[in-house]
Amino acid sequence: MHMSTFDRYLAGSSRIHQLDPRVKVVLTLLFIISNVLLPDGSWLAFLAAWLILLVVNRAAQFSFGYLFKRSFIALPFALAAITVIFVQPGNPLASWEIGRRTITISDAGMIRFASIVIRSWLSVQAAILLTATTQFPDMMHALRHLKVPAVLISIISFMYRYLFVLVDEAMRLLRAREARSARLVNDGKHGGTVFWRAKVTGSMAGQLFVRSFERSDKVYNAMLARGYRGQLLTMNPHVMRQPDWLFLALGVGLIVVLQVIGWLF
């Protein structure tokens, strides 16, 4: 198994790691919802939300670069909202004549676009902190305690589990191809034509599907033999202690403060 492919949990002994997973899941969801509810252009509230994330990141004993670099994965998806700068009514900042059409960038559109990018960036950082400080089985147990439908939890659990199976089978196929393929050094080529490569790739994709399906059936039977009854088990006790309740109350209070800052300032 190549655990680093999808598993982003970083073991640690910080106070954030030791929190009950229900607290972390609830606060992460509330934080993301709070970002969505903030009005466009709430720069002070966005700054306060980012400072809260930095404090939590430091409390989890992570470096600033760990959170900062990984959060940029949200930017390509947020750029899909760039069209709002052209369609949002407001004072024009610039305009161009393209044929019979006039394309105008408005100030309100720029503010909304920047707000969407910042919201996405902050939300991804919160999700990164959640996955880095909480093991996947603990998150699934937290969802079960929070009364999320069992079918949905099972789907998420199996999807996560079989992603590793899929990667494992794909790497087996790649190693087998490398072991059975001869490459001429002096011919300047690294394979056949584009159509030949497409044929080989399609054949490998078909084999990957068949082998993954067979492997997943074996994994499921092995899970049943080891006591699987519809939910992932964990050795970590889930008991809400006083520090957990205090941290939950503090987190909810800070989120309320963010809303007050966003709507009043």
Euclidean distance between CA atoms 145 and 251, whole angstroms: 19
Cβ of 83: how many Cβ atoms within 10 Å?
10
Using alpha carbons, select from 78, 72, 75, 67 the residue that is nearest to residue 129. 67
Residue of 195, 194, 190 lying closest to 178 (CA atoms)? 190
> And the tokens for 153?
């939890």
- pLDDT band at residue 1, thresholds of 50, 70 and 90? very low
Quote the tokens at residue 94. 């610039």
- For 4-15, the pLDDT digits (tens) are 555 677 878 888
d(CA 140, CA 238): 12
Q: pLDDT tens across 195-245, in order?
A: 777 777 777 778 777 777 777 778 778 878 887 776 666 666 778 889 999
Among 32-41, 155-164, 174-183, which range has the highest average pLDDT? Answer: 32-41
